[in-house]
Amino acid sequence: MKYKEVIFSFKPLNPWSEILIAYLSELDFESFENIEEGVRGYIKQDDFNFSDIKKICNQLNCKITINHKVIKQQNWNAKWESDFQPIIIGKKCGIRSIFHQPLEDVDYEIIITPKMSFGTGHHATTHGMIELMLGLNFFDKIVLDMGCGTAVLAILADQLGAKKVVAIDIEEYAYNNALENISINRSSQIVIHKGGKEKIDGKFNIILANINRNILIKDMNTYSSHLNENGLILFSGFYEQDLDLIKHEANLQRLKYIGHNSRNNWVTAKFKKL
């Protein structure tokens, strides 16, 4: 399978880097990387549509130059792996690759194979989700990780004592990467499904949904219907300016706003089912 490497060059980088990534996430890009000249994205060659990408760039009040080339998936993975560095969040949770040395002085260590799935801990949304998760009681809880990516959140929920974790992602590359990471971490309480909201079955004590604003709003009624009363749900994948929209829809779905954290303008918000 071949991929397109697309480089978006512009100045200034802030705030346009994060805004551009948020807009492009509505397409079929599988990963983004902030670089000196702007943003680098990766997308399957068959999914690449220059017209759609150009249309998005034209919406922003910023002049953007777009360059793209075809690359092989294997070469891309090798570069991604070589660039990946361990990270420690909240002084408790460490995330490293299988080719790094074990981390010291952390309560929870997650080992991942950093390929093209979202969720290495470096992005502000994954970071924010983990920060809030470390403050919750997962012991003996049934948990849903919706849009699981690498399954890093599902693995952490398992390590935090969850009775059962269901992880769901619509992308095949994420599903396969999640299976690999679950095996590496020996996370026996995790069940993973490939698909979307139609794969959600049963009730949950805690739901983790790190996706994007539009999908969160569109599917929030489904998430709420599968959340136990007094259950908790964490939403991420949107900006501070979108928090009121998330709150409004949550209120319609009997989800009470509890609080949120923010990192680089990305928000992770906690709600409780009434």
- Would you kindly state where each structural domain of the chain is located, as residue ranges? 2-80, 119-273
DSSP state of 25: T
Element (H, E) at 232: strand 227-239
Query: Which pLDDT does position 144 carry in this prediction?
Result: 98
User: Do the beta carbons of residue 135 and residue 175 sit within 8 Å?
Assistant: no
Q: What does the pLDDT read at residue 114?
A: 62
CATH number attached to the domain at 2-80 = 3.30.70.980
Q: What pTM was computed for the model?
A: 0.76
Walk along the chain (274 residues) and give the pLDDT tens digit of each residue: 678 899 999 988 888 887 888 888 788 887 777 788 999 888 888 899 999 999 999 988 889 999 999 986 555 555 555 667 888 998 899 999 887 888 888 999 999 886 655 555 567 888 999 999 999 999 999 999 999 988 999 999 999 999 999 999 988 878 988 999 999 999 999 999 999 999 999 999 999 999 888 889 999 999 999 999 999 999 998 888 899 999 999 999 999 999 999 988 889 999 999 9
According to DSSP, the residues that pair with 101 across neighbouring strands are none
Q: Which residues pair with 267 in a beta bridge?
A: 238, 262
Class of domain 119-273: alpha beta
Q: How many residues does the chain have?
A: 274
Contacts of 215 (CB under 8 A, 6+ apart): 147, 237
Which residue has tokens 């969850």?
Answer: 162
* Pair of tokens at residue 169: 């992602």
Residue 125 and residue 266 in contact, taking contact as beta carbons nearer than 8 Å: yes
- What are the helix (H) ranges across the chain? 16-24, 50-59, 73-83, 124-133, 152-159, 172-184, 213-225, 243-252
Whether 57 contacts 24, CB under 8 Å: no
**Do 2-80 and 119-273 show the same overall fold?**
no
Sorted by sequence, the CB contacts under 8 Å of residue 91 that are 6+ apart come out as 106
What are the CA-CA distances from residue 137 to residues 159, 167, 206, 236 (Å)? 11, 19, 10, 19
Q: pLDDT value at position 66? A: 96
Q: Which amino acid is at 118?
A: F
What is the layout of strands, in order, in the sheet containing 31-35?
A: 31-35, 38-44, 2-9, 65-72
